[in-house]
Every structure is written in C-alpha cells, then in structure tokens.
C-alpha cells in the first residue's frame, strides 16, 4: 500500500539525486534528462545524472534519441520530450551537427553575454557552424541560456537552421561567427526572446538572417539585439506573414534592418518599439531601416538612426 509522507517545510535534493514518478501538482512527461559536463563527464557514461554525465552535447543527443524508442508502444522519436542540461565550465563544447524534434536544450551556468568562464558555450572553432540543423529540420525545440561561438575566424554561423518550426529560443547569444549569428532559412512559429548576436574578436557579417528563397512566418522576436559588421538583420524571406519584432535593435556596419519581404499589408512583418542603425547614408528608410514594401504601414514607435541622423520611424520628423 502506498505510504504518505508529510513534508512540513521543504524537501531538498542533493546534487546527482534522481526524482522518479510524479506527485500532486506535477506529472510524468515520459521523458529523460541527460546531463553534460566536459570536465567531469565521459561519453562512455549513461548521462542520466550529474554523477554519470556525458562529456559532449552530441553524445547526450544520441542517447536521448535512442532512449525514446524504448518506451512501450513507441515507434517514433516524436512527442516524448527529453531534456539535455549542459553545464557551463571553463572549456567550450564541440559543435553540434543535429538537433532532434521535441527536446529541451538548457545551458546551466553564467549569463551567455560575455566571454568569461562559466558560460555554457558551444564552439565551431572556425571550422563548422557551432550548431547546425539540415533539411530534415527541427520542431518543438526549447533552447535557453547557451552561447554559440567561433573561437577562430571562419565563414560559419552560430546556429544555422535549414528548417525550424514551433520552437522557442531564449536568453542565447551568437558571438564571433563570421558569416552570421543566427540563421533560419525556412521556418515558422518560432519565439525568440532576450537573445543577442555580437562580436568582439572575429568579424560577424549579419546578426540575424531570416529566409533565403523560402518562407519564414509567424515569428515573435522580443527584447533582442542583433549586431553585424554589414547588417544587423537581413529578412530576405519570400514571405514573413504574422511576424512581429518588438523592442529589438538591429545595428550594422552598413544597414540595421533589411526587409525585402513582399507587400502583403496586414500579413507582413511588423516592427514595434525597435531601433535601427547603419552608416549607408543619412536618408530615412535607407540605412537604419531599409524596408522595401509599405514601410510607413508596418512600423510603430521606432527610431531610424541613419549614420547619426536619428528620426522617429516611419515618419520623417526628426
């Protein structure tokens, strides 16, 4: 017969403890948590506790995918949500070449804005994208508190998604990545919050790239900063319906925001309380913001800084 234990104040779990089952107010998701530490872990470990952590995120991903198929009646990896926790240390993790569907990828450590120790950092080392997802795509990703970096110069991305749908990226940074910080070629339903693309040691041409002869619809991008040596943001999708940028900055060596999405008023990307800076010239909608279609109808309370000449955008008043 099940026993009842009354806890009057708090229940504390020591590091490495494993909680199984469920209790009132919670539920069993059916998933497994995998732990990654490149100092104390080993890729020969099972990864199911800090005491048996694996050394690299790639190994945790492989174990996660294998574990989903052992559930009774499961014939697909979809919908069983596993969690991968990556410990921030003084050593960067090696690049990740694939992300499965429906997984939590969590960085545990210092805030990823910066270049000091303790950040959960994934490094392409100037030879590969720090994280890449091919045309098979990724759906249902929740990714938080990670830095994607190149420690040496190279023409790569911090995160490069050929396809990304119905996902959330939160509190992540994309730093010193050569070609660009974050790129989503084809996607939709992605929520990006409190993220930044920056560079301090290696050139990074574009902070955020959306689309490339493909659609990127229904994005919500909030409280983010996108820095690029050329463009802060390049929105070059064939459609960007129901996409909203709110309280974001795009700062580029030439242009801030570039938006070439088609004219479909009511469905095109919207810019609310955003800031754009570039150095191309001092003319409105040619530098800080360069929105090709209906720019006067798609922006609310924005600032266009055209090489030092700041204007309320989309109006022409200083």
Give 21-63 pLDDT, tens digit per residue: 544 445 556 689 999 999 999 999 999 999 999 999 999 999 9
Q: Indicate whether this model's pTM tops 0.75.
A: yes
59 — phi, psi (to 5°)? Answer: -70, -40
Q: Say how far apart CA 85 and CA 194 lie, in whole Å.
A: 19
Eight-state DSSP code of residue 63: H
Give pLDDT, residue 116. Answer: 75
Smallest CA-to-CA distance from 223 within 254, 191, 199 is with 191
Give pLDDT, residue 153. Answer: 87
Domain boundaries, the chain: 131-313
Q: The tokens 């050394």 sit on which residue?
A: 55
* Mean pLDDT, residues 128-135 taken together: 97
Contact 180, 155 (CB under 8 A): no
Give pLDDT, residue 117. Answer: 85
Higher pLDDT, 30 or 215: 215
How would you label 255-281 residue by residue, b for 16+ Cβ within 10 Å and e otherwise? bbbbbebeeeeeebbbbeebbbbbbbe
Higher pLDDT, 279 or 296: 279
pLDDT 10s digits, 62-97: 999 888 766 555 555 556 889 999 999 999 999 999
Give pLDDT, residue 76. Answer: 58
Asked if residue 289 has a cis previous peptide bond (ω within 30° of 0), the answer is no
**Alpha-helical regions (H) of 233-315:** none
Lowest mean pLDDT among 74-88, 96-110, 212-226: 74-88
Give pLDDT, residue 24. Answer: 47
CA atoms within 13 A on the CB side of 112: 30
List, in order, residues 6 or more apart from 34 with CB less than 8 Å away: 47, 48, 54, 60, 63, 64, 82, 83, 84, 85
Give pLDDT, residue 30. Answer: 67
CA 299 to chain centre: 24
Tokens of 20: 């199984």
């Amino acid at each position: 017969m099940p026993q009842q234990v009354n806890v009057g104040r708090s229940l504390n779990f020591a590091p490495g403890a494993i909680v199984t089952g469920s209790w009132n107010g919670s539920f069993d998701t059916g998933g497994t948590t995998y732990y990654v530490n490149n100092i104390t872990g080993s890729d020969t470990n099972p990864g199911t506790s800090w005491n048996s952590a694996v050394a690299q995120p790639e190994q945790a991903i492989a174990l996660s995918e294998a574990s989903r198929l052992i559930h009774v009646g499961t014939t697909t990896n979809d919908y069983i949500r596993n969690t991968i926790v990556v410990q921030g240390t003084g050593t960067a993790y090696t690049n990740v070449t694939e992300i499965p569907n429906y997984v939590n990828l969590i960085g545990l450590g210092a805030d990823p804005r910066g270049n000091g120790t303790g950040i959960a950092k994934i490094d392409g080392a100037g030879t590969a994208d720090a994280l890449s997802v091919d045309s098979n795509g990724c759906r249902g990703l929740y990714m938080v508190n990670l830095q994607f970096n190149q420690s040496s110069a190279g023409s790569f991305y911090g995160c490069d998604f050929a396809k990304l749908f119905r996902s959330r990226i939160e509190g992540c940074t994309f730093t010193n990545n050569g070609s660009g910080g974050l790129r989503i070629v084809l996607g939709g339903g992605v929520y990006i919050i409190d993220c930044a693309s920056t560079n301090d040691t290696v050139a990074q041409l574009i902070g955020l790239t959306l689309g490339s002869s493909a659609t990127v619809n229904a994005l919500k991008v909030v409280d983010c900063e996108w820095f690029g040596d050329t463009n802060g943001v390049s929105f070059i999708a064939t459609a960007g319906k129901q996409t909203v940028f709110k309280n974001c900055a795009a700062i580029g060596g030439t242009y801030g925001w570039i938006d070439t999405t088609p004219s479909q008023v009511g469905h095109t990307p919207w810019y609310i309380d955003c800031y754009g800076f570039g150095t191309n010239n001092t003319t409105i909608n040619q530098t800080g913001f360069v929105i090709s279609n209906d720019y006067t109808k798609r922006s609310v309370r924005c600032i266009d800084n055209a090489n030092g000449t700041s204007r309320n955008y989309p109006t022409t008043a200083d």
